[in-house]
Amino acid sequence: MKDLTWPDLENLAFPVKALFTGYLLVIGLGLLMAGGQILLTHGMADGKFGLSIDDIVYSYYGDREGSKLEAKLNGSMKGNAPGEARMVMIKWARAGAPESEWETKIKPLTDQYCVGCHANMPGITNVAEKDLMIKVAAVDMGASINTLTRVSHIHLFGIAFIFFFVGWIFSFATGFSPIVKALLIFTPFVFLIIDVAAWWLTKMNPNFAWLEMIGGIGYSLASTVMIFSSLYQMCIKPLRTKKA
């Protein structure tokens, strides 16, 4: 049975349109910033700008022939220290990060080039501490189980709320069959599960890295369609109708 009382976006009250439009604009901008953040973090894991399968493998499976310290010094942190200083730290890591060289060779370099950010910004490793520096100089096993558990539940809860409200607003859209509309609303949730599952699978086997690409692209495309369709029907379509 069809629900004939379900309102459409074009005819919503102006305050409701303002609420929905503001939300979609902020969420759209937030998704763009999230994409930029991914490019500047995960996208530099292989030392090259742009997200690739290798970036995903290095982020979750790790580079088990090297250390996280070396990967960062050759990647996202490359511009923060001169080549000579980076090479000293890389050689130290490759030698097993001997504690005897910490005070004389490594600590002066971290004090000069690293601690300005790493000792003052929450959420990043404080390389001013010897034990933490030795830890990141160890063989890179990728994201830890503790990190994956923490990030997974935050990602699932937080992004699901975004998709819920975007989908709810889009449910008022017209011009889509009920099946197409339902598929668009449901799609981001499916790809979100695929995205997070890919982290864990890639941690165990690097051959699953392509799944994260599929998950991210899938929910991004579906969200983009819903956001732009909703904004068009609330803001542009009424103006075109009046002119006609």
CA distances from 218 to 42, 44, 207, 209 (A): 18, 22, 19, 15
Last residue within a domain, chosen from 136, 164, 184: 136
C-alpha–C-alpha distance, residues 67 and 63, integer Å: 7
Q: Is residue 6 one of the residues assigned to a domain?
A: no
DSSP symbol at 179:
H
What are 138-156's pLDDT values in tens digits? 777 778 899 899 999 999 9
C-alpha–C-alpha distance, residues 222 and 107, integer Å: 48
The per-residue pLDDT for 48 is 67
Place of tokens 């086997």: 205
The per-residue pLDDT for 208 is 92
The verdict on 150 and 227 lying in the same domain is yes
The verdict on 174 and 226 lying in the same domain is yes
Q: Is residue 1 one of the residues assigned to a domain?
A: no
Q: Is residue 54 one of the residues assigned to a domain?
A: no
The verdict on 25 and 74 lying in the same domain is no
Q: What is the mean pLDDT of residues 96-114?
A: 85
* 164 in Cβ contact with 139 (< 8 Å): no
Q: What is the mean pLDDT of residues 14-34?
A: 94
The per-residue pLDDT for 193 is 96
Q: Is residue 19 one of the residues assigned to a domain?
A: yes
- Structural domain count of the chain: 2
Q: Which string of DSSP letters, residue by residue, matches 131-169?
A: HHHHHHTSB---S-HHHHHHHHHHHHHHHHHHHHHHHHH
Contacts of 242 (CB under 8 A, 6+ apart): none
Last residue within a domain, chosen from 119, 136, 153: 136
**Average pLDDT of every residue of the chain:** 85
Q: Which string of DSSP letters, residue by residue, matches 182-193?
A: HHHHHHHHHHHH
The per-residue pLDDT for 51 is 77
C-alpha–C-alpha distance, residues 34 and 50, integer Å: 14
Is the pLDDT at 230 greater than 60? The verdict is: yes
Is the pLDDT at 244 greater than 70? The verdict is: no
122: confidence class by pLDDT, cuts 50, 70, 90:
low
Is the pLDDT at 1 greater than 50? The verdict is: no
Q: Is residue 87 one of the residues assigned to a domain?
A: yes
The per-residue pLDDT for 170 is 96
The verdict on 114 and 163 lying in the same domain is no
C-alpha–C-alpha distance, residues 39 and 158, integer Å: 20
Q: Is residue 71 one of the residues assigned to a domain?
A: yes
Phi, psi of 198 (to 5 degrees): -65, -30
C-alpha–C-alpha distance, residues 207 and 146, integer Å: 22
Q: Is residue 56 one of the residues assigned to a domain?
A: no
The per-residue pLDDT for 153 is 93
C-alpha–C-alpha distance, residues 149 and 135, integer Å: 20
The verdict on 154 and 219 lying in the same domain is yes
The verdict on 32 and 103 lying in the same domain is no
Q: What is the mean pLDDT of residues 214-238?
A: 93
Burial class (CB in 10 A: 0-12, 13-18, 19+), 89: buried
Is the pLDDT at 64 greater than 70? The verdict is: no
Is the pLDDT at 70 greater than 60? The verdict is: yes
The verdict on 150 and 232 lying in the same domain is yes
30: confidence class by pLDDT, cuts 50, 70, 90:
very high
The verdict on 165 and 211 lying in the same domain is yes
The verdict on 28 and 89 lying in the same domain is no
Task: Please give the radius of gyration of the chain, using alpha carbons only, rounded to the nearest integer.
Answer: 23
Is the pLDDT at 113 greater than 80? The verdict is: yes
Last residue within a domain, chosen from 89, 110, 136: 136
Q: What is the mean pLDDT of residues 212-232?
A: 94
The verdict on 113 and 79 lying in the same domain is yes
The per-residue pLDDT for 78 is 80
The verdict on 76 and 160 lying in the same domain is no
Q: What is the mean pLDDT of residues 6-26?
A: 91
The verdict on 209 and 156 lying in the same domain is yes
Place of tokens 């990043």: 124
C-alpha–C-alpha distance, residues 107 and 20, integer Å: 52
Q: Is residue 59 one of the residues assigned to a domain?
A: no
Domain that holds residue 114: 64-136
